[in-house]
Structure 1
Amino acid sequence: MKTIIRQGRIVSPSEVYEGDILIDGETIACIGRNLETEGAQVIEAKGKYVIPGGVDVHTHMDLLAGGSRAVDDFYNGTVAAACGGTISIVDHMGFGPEGCDLHHQLKEYHHLADNKAVIDYGFHGVAQHVNQDILDELEGMMEDGVPSVKVYLTYDRRLNDAEALQVLKRMKELGGVTAFHCENHEVVEYCRKAYRESGRTGPEYHAKSRPNLAEAEAVARILNLARLAGDAPVYIVHLSCRESLEAVLDARKKGQKNIFVETCTQYLTLTEERYLDKDGLKYVMSPPLRTEEDCRRLWEGLAAGDIQVVATDHCPFNYGKEKQLGRDDFTKCPNGAPGVEERMSVIFSEGVMKNRISINRFVETLCTNPARIYGCYPQKGILQPGADGDLVIIDPNKEYVLTHDRMHSAVDYTAYEGMKVKGQIDLVMQRGRIVAEGNVFKGQRGAGRFIHRQSLDNA
């Protein structure tokens, strides 16, 4: 099947130009003007932006966290992603049984995702302990299409500095990327205990127990370890505050290379005042929401190119059920919030339409950079001949109010309820087929394919 996207405003990280896109089968065959192909389906896009399909490299589908499981599985969650303009995800696998090898979770996640996902997907490995067998196994994971591994500096399966350093060194040898959840575990646990024992157990104390400096200290520490490992590639997930960004900028000023930074929609648009709302448990996530000043500084960092990626950390638990575990004690509330469907629209509206970032930076940080860093470029993240026929058409003149009843996730709320959004996603295509149109899902269960990602040396 052939499709022509006619007269759209085609966007890359560096330019915007009017043209036609010819998709032949699953890939882009040609980009030009006045393209004609007999029998092709023609989709008019005049006056609208045509951008690459979104790439979200930080989701948690079907995650089991303690006694709670995220309510979106790989079907519901990827339907939501598709309707929101995201056509590829790289999911962070959860912890496996104590002492398990890396492939244990890879097998488990293939079982969870294969024949369910409606969009293309990959996985990040997770290092929950370190020994020589694990370090050796990292190479096998890369051969199996998983050239990235995540390390937590907090929670029960966290790694210490010596273990993190070993992972960084080995991943540098292999051309892979190590992603880090950066919070100082001892500081956080001390604060949580102090608030709980003094009876301060409302959701606002979740934010107070995880202060900016607890994150920034861990970010600086990991950057130092990465430098010690010979500027090993390091990716900071969900950076949320100005002090952490300052630590990154300081390291770069000293000449350190291979530092990649991700923030998320919520840290650009929501603030800690939400914890004072009667439904403040909805916003219990780690790291927590910060201040208006932190939001402003992150937008500046995004505009300047200091932050490379906007992701979501999509990890939904129902407010009416799982989140209520924390109604009397914030420490018992499962951490996480939905966002995979809202990301593209909210950042377009709050970023591009409010002149905080350019449309080019929007494409760069939500599509191209995540694909580049994590080894699925140029198959994903760019509109050019030979790339997958993944694209999104956005009408910048349409406005609507974002409400839960528009969403496709299985979760019972959206963190962005009532937000006025300027710019509407009209159509989403994956590999040449329409998967969403007019906020209606039109794809197929199981149509998504596993993305066998490449190492940095081969991407």
Structure 2
Amino acid sequence: MKKIIKNGTIVTASDQYFGDILIEDGIIVMIGVDLDVPGAVVVDASGCYVFPGGIDPHTHLDMPFGGTVTADDFETGTIAAAFGGTTTVIDFCLTTKNEPLSKAVKTWHDKSKGKAVIDYGFHLMIGQMNDEVLEELPIIIEEQGITSLKVFMAYKNVFQADDGTLYKTLLAAKEHGALVMVHAENGDVIAHLIEQALAAGHTEPVYHALTRPAVLEGEATGRAAKLTEFADSQLYVVHVTCAEAVRQIEEARRKGVRVYGETCPQYLMLDQTDLEKPNFEGAKYVWSPPLREKWNQEVLWDALWSGSLQTVGSDQCSFNFNGQKDLGLNDFSKIPNGGPTIEDRFSILYSEGVRKGRISIHQFVDVISTQAAKLFGLFPQKGTIAIGSDADLVIFDPNAERTISAATHHMNVDYNAFEGLQITGEPVSVLVRGDFIIRNKQFVGTPGYGQYLRRKRFNPPAPALRTAGAEPVKGGVS
């Protein structure tokens, strides 16, 4: 069925204009003014922005961790994502040492099949690099279109890989056209600090942050960047939280190293004092890397504006406060790491970023969608509004006001990390490949509608251009 999205203000990473969008067979086939196509369903977007669908490059759905499993699976998690304006997620396949990579990929296909309501792809964790992995990796990249590889530098004795594995992964990625992702914290030193804290009787949630100081994130980020430079490869640093890590990324990029960075809404909005909340409430804010001192927030916003950081992922990894987070009631190291963030990523970045002048509306589209599409082999199929692109669209009311709350969110979890935050701007309707998933703020999608995305090999995007001394321009429908 043909559809015309009429009378909206179309916004991409580079352009903003008033116009209509004709959709046919899930694809954008025409963009113009006063389009009139017999038989087409007309959707009025008056007073709204029309954005490309959000791409969340960092989710953990139906993931085992710390003796439990995340509360949101591919059905509840992608429904929540759709309500929040996200039309594509890329989730992480966890591998097991000495088992075939294909086994992990099959497990994640089984988790997602028949459940996802939006499109999705996978990253692949690399925990070891031996002859078997080297032989299987190019097959996975070619046949599955999994062109991003995750290496943990933290979680000693669980996920952590050594520097040799990271370096070999960088070499393999360069050869086969993949992008290496790192969780950058010094896991060896953190393990020692945790042991010391517990021995001294420190069990409260805030010690999760105190045993994972920012200097150890900065050190690991710099180490990974230097190994990337030496390998002449490419690196994407996930969930950057602090000035120390930003500086290392900036230094590498100034030297021409292909290093990219992601931050998350929780690091832009919350800080270490949330972990100090009484009655174990601080456990709600335990994730890794931890929340930092508040002043780091402006460093991160500035890095998004300058282009030092390219994307904002959610790092969605939800655990219920009751029954899951309380596994660490008497030991902060046993609190499952992660939080519910997938639904509010899009609106928070608009409300706190565009409306408050921290980033322009074009930078918003770039970091919420376009850069992720380019980095992870989905552009221009995803991440923009253009003829021939998938009709993944968000009709967004920039003036709608709401208060974030667990009472009204759609994630399958008993708290919201941003509880009580008042924001302006929210999705009204969301389309994936031309079909409504959310229409007038109601879910109308179908579990299993989401398609698995085989992604193209890594092709470095052109660096974003920022004018020295320029100020971000506040958004508003024009």
Query: Is TM more than 0.5 here?
Result: yes
The Cα of 1:254 is off from its aligned counterpart by 2.4
- The two structures, once aligned, show a CA RMSD in angstroms of 1.2
Amino acid in structure 1 at the alignment position of 2:235 = V
Q: How many residues in Structure 1 have an aligned counterpart in Structure 2?
A: 456
Q: Could you say what secondary structure the match of 2:407 adopts?
A: helix
- Report Cα offsets for 1:272-320 as digits up to 9, x if no partner: 1101113110000000011221111000000111110000110000001
The Cα of 1:111 is off from its aligned counterpart by 0.5
Within a 5 Å distance, the mapping from 1:11-50 to structure 2 comes to: 11-50=11-50
Could you tell me whether the CA contact under 8 Å between 2:23 and 2:391 is conserved in 1? Answer: yes
Show the counterpart of 1:164: 166
Show the counterpart of 2:294: 292
Could you tell me whether the CA contact under 8 Å between 2:377 and 2:459 is conserved in 1? Answer: no
Amino acid in structure 2 at the alignment position of 1:253 = R
- Report Cα offsets for 1:407-442 as digits up to 9, x if no partner: 111111110110001012111011111101233211
Within a 5 Å distance, the mapping from 1:67-86 to structure 2 comes to: 67-86=67-86
Could you tell me whether the CA contact under 8 Å between 2:152 and 2:183 is conserved in 1? Answer: yes
Show the counterpart of 1:120: 119
Show the counterpart of 1:250: 251
Within a 5 Å distance, the mapping from 1:21-420 to structure 2 comes to: 21-96=21-96, 98-143=97-142, 144-155=144-155, 156-230=158-232, 232-256=233-257, 258-278=258-278, 279-420=281-422
Could you tell me whether the CA contact under 8 Å between 2:377 and 2:456 is conserved in 1? Answer: yes
Distance in 2, Cα, partners of 1:306 & 1:148: 20
Q: Which runs of 5+ in 2 are unaligned?
A: 462-478
Distance in 1, Cα, partners of 2:208 & 2:66: 18
Could you tell me whether the CA contact under 8 Å between 1:142 and 1:454 is conserved in 2? Answer: no
Show the counterpart of 2:424: 422
Amino acid in structure 2 at the alignment position of 1:12 = T
Show the counterpart of 1:448: 450
The Cα of 1:11 is off from its aligned counterpart by 0.7
Q: Could you say what secondary structure the match of 1:453 adopts?
A: coil
The Cα of 1:458 is off from its aligned counterpart by 10
Q: Could you say what secondary structure the match of 1:350 adopts?
A: helix
Could you tell me whether the CA contact under 8 Å between 1:373 and 1:456 is conserved in 2? Answer: yes
The Cα of 1:129 is off from its aligned counterpart by 1.4
Could you tell me whether the CA contact under 8 Å between 1:138 and 1:171 is conserved in 2? Answer: no
Show the counterpart of 2:6: 6
Q: Could you say what secondary structure the match of 1:425 adopts?
A: strand
Distance in 2, Cα, partners of 1:260 & 1:190: 29
The Cα of 1:82 is off from its aligned counterpart by 0.8
Q: Which runs of 5+ in 1 are unaligned?
A: none
The Cα of 1:457 is off from its aligned counterpart by 4.6
Amino acid in structure 2 at the alignment position of 1:140 = I
Distance in 2, Cα, partners of 1:366 & 1:179: 18
Distance in 2, Cα, partners of 1:350 & 1:105: 38
Distance in 2, Cα, partners of 1:107 & 1:384: 33
Show the counterpart of 2:467: none
Could you tell me whether the CA contact under 8 Å between 2:5 and 2:42 is conserved in 1? Answer: yes
Q: 1:439 aligns with which of 414, 438, 441?
A: 441
Distance in 2, Cα, partners of 1:305 & 1:145: 27
Distance in 2, Cα, partners of 1:458 & 1:212: 28
Could you tell me whether the CA contact under 8 Å between 1:239 and 1:264 is conserved in 2? Answer: yes
Task: Spell out structure 1 runs of 4+ moving beyond 6 A.
Answer: none
The Cα of 1:252 is off from its aligned counterpart by 1.8
Report % sequence identity. Answer: 40
> TM-score by structure 2 length?
0.94
Comparing 51-60 with 246-255, greater Cα deviation is found at: 246-255
- Report Cα offsets for 1:163-198 as digits up to 9, x if no partner: 111110111011110100110012111111111111
The Cα of 1:405 is off from its aligned counterpart by 1.9
Distance in 2, Cα, partners of 1:295 & 1:101: 40
The Cα of 1:344 is off from its aligned counterpart by 0.5
Distance in 2, Cα, partners of 1:24 & 1:311: 30
> TM-score by structure 1 length?
0.97
Could you tell me whether the CA contact under 8 Å between 2:285 and 2:339 is conserved in 1? Answer: yes
The Cα of 1:39 is off from its aligned counterpart by 1.4
The Cα of 1:136 is off from its aligned counterpart by 2.3
Distance in 2, Cα, partners of 1:135 & 1:218: 25
- Report Cα offsets for 1:133-173 as digits up to 9, x if no partner: 21222211111110111000112232111111111011101
Distance in 2, Cα, partners of 1:348 & 1:9: 15
Distance in 2, Cα, partners of 1:24 & 1:157: 44
Assess, with a 3 A threshold, how the Cα gap between structure 1 residues 284 and 95 changes in structure 2: closer, same or farther.
farther
Distance in 2, Cα, partners of 1:95 & 1:45: 44
Amino acid in structure 2 at the alignment position of 1:276 = E
Q: Could you say what secondary structure the match of 1:112 adopts?
A: helix
Q: Could you say what secondary structure the match of 2:396 adopts?
A: strand
The Cα of 1:113 is off from its aligned counterpart by 0.4
Could you tell me whether the CA contact under 8 Å between 1:95 and 1:157 is conserved in 2? Answer: no
